[in-house]
Amino acid sequence: MPTVETSTPPGTHTPIGPYSHIAKVGPWITLSGTAGFDPATGALVGPDIQSQTRRILESFKVMLASVDSDLAHVVHVHVFLKNMADFAAMNDAYAEVMGDVRPARTVIGVAALPKPDVLLTMNLTAVTRSV
């Protein structure tokens, strides 16, 4: 039976609940819902969708590297937006960080998120580089 390995690597913010940022089974990786918090201070990186989007994706890079993966090995991203009016600006920041990487993606509008001033969260599924 496969073992589920969980972790929260250094260089990422502390989870706000009883969970780990990463769950890995064999080559499959799932990253928990992540908001745009600065890992050094624990504070939200900025009041705008673009800075929060960039921070989330930079956090994903750190998390993925800790389990032998990277953005090029992302299979699917879920984006949870508090305001669909932020869709275009989120897309701009997303494309800036993701470059030519274009995994499957779902964007969902939500009424609220767990922390004040958080404009979006994202989670993803990826595979290791060795697949």
Given this model, what pLDDT does residue 102 score? 97
Q: Is the pTM here over 0.85, yes or no?
A: yes
The residues spanned by each domain of the chain are 5-127
Given this model, what pLDDT does residue 2 score? 86
Over the chain (131 residues), the average pLDDT of each successive run of 10 is 92 91 98 96 95 98 97 98 98 98 98 95 97 72
Q: Which CATH number fits domain 5-127: 3.40.50.40, 3.30.1330.40, 3.30.110.30, 3.20.20.70?
A: 3.30.1330.40
Could you tell me the two tokens for 112? 């609220």
